[in-house]
């Protein structure tokens, strides 16, 4: 196909497995994420989506397997340079509730070693429409504003890869649309995205590739189909039938 572009690998998981006690959360997973690529990670609850994102983010150590950044292997202990390239947004915002939005962003900007944290924070507050609540404690924000602040926190250091773990959980329609618009802007800027979600419409709107994870294994990995939901239902049904 003429519209297929060459994808340069940004991060790669090879044979990654994770066990919690006797339970395997991930079983021998291989994943390659290219620069400016966006991947939707789908799967039922407990499929291992969050574990996969946490391993990519360098906060969970895999039981087995390797993580490669730009072809170079990274050990968790020395993963701080890898963490500089990642932004992570979960369903929790990682923001201290008794601190204001600005104080939270300044804290994280300092931890990421930004050269001019105040300027970067002011820029993001403006871009994300948070200036009017910058001095408000996070505990006094609506869920939508808090999640917008969480995205601002994740983008403070201009990451190359954005990991999103069900970021739309608990948001109303308006807040969802606002967050979606901000994520589209990041996509347009060339940021790679791995999005774990249960929402097929969100996956269709934001991603170009779909990975379906069931019971810690990849059951499907391919370009965005015409209907994500029908592919998902077929894959999950086939997996359940195989287990029955």
Partner 1 sequence: MIPLLRKEFLIEWRAREALATALLTGLLLLVVLSFAFDPTSPLRREAAPGAFWVTVVFSGVLAIGRSFVADRENDCLQGLLLAPLDRGTIFLAKVFAQTAFLLAAQLLLVPLFIVFFDLPLSAHLLPWLLALVLVGVGLSAAGILLAAIAVQTRAKEILLPLLLVPLAVPLLLAGLRVSQRAFAGKPLGEAVAWLHLAVGFDVIVLVVGWLLFEYVVED
Positions in the binding site for partner 1 (CB under 8 A): 20, 54, 57-61, 76-77, 80-81, 83-84, 86, 88, 90, 92-99, 103, 106-108, 110-113, 138, 153
Q: 76 or 122: whose CB is closer to partner 1?
A: 76
Tell me the Ramachandran region of residue 129: left when phi exceeds 0, alpha when psi lies from -120 to 50, beta otherwise: left
Q: 24 or 112: whose CB is closer to partner 1?
A: 112
The enclosing H or E element of 188 equals helix 173-188
**Contact (Cβ atoms closer than 8 angstroms) between residue 151 and residue 130:** no
Q: 25 or 211: whose CB is closer to partner 1?
A: 25
Q: 29 - beta bridge partners?
A: 16
What beta strand segments (E) does 21-157 contain? Answer: 23-34, 38-42, 64-69, 72-73, 86-89
CA 28, 33, 37, 43: dihedral to nearest 10 degrees?
20
Q: 98 or 241: whose CB is closer to partner 1?
A: 98
């Amino acid at each position: 196909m003429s519209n297929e572009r060459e994808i340069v690998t940004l991060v790669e998981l090879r044979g990654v497995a994770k066990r919690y006690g006797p339970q395997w959360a991930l079983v021998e997973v291989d994943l390659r994420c290219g620069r400016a690529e966006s991947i939707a990670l789908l799967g039922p609850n407990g499929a291992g989506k969050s574990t996969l994102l946490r391993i990519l983010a360098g906060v969970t150590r895999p039981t087995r397997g390797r993580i490669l950044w730009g072809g170079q292997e990274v050990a968790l202990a020395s993963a701080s340079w890898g963490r500089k390239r990642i932004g992570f947004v979960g369903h929790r915002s990682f923001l201290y509730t008794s601190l204001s939005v600005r104080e939270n962003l300044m804290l994280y900007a300092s931890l990421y070693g930004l050269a001019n944290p105040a300027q970067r924070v002011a820029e993001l507050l403006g871009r994300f429409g948070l200036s009017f609540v910058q001095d408000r404690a996070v505990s006094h924000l609506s869920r939508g504003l808090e999640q917008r602040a969480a995205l601002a926190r994740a983008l403070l250091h201009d990451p190359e890869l954005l990991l999103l773990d069900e970021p739309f959980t608990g948001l109303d329609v308006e807040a969802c649309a606002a967050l979606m618009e901000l994520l589209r802007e990041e996509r347009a800027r060339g940021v790679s995205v791995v999005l774990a979600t249960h929402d097929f419409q969100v996956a269709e709107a934001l991603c170009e590739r779909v990975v379906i994870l069931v019971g810690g294994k990849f059951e499907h990995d391919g370009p965005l189909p015409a209907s994500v939901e029908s592919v998902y239902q077929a894959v999950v049904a086939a997996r359940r039938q195989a287990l029955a």
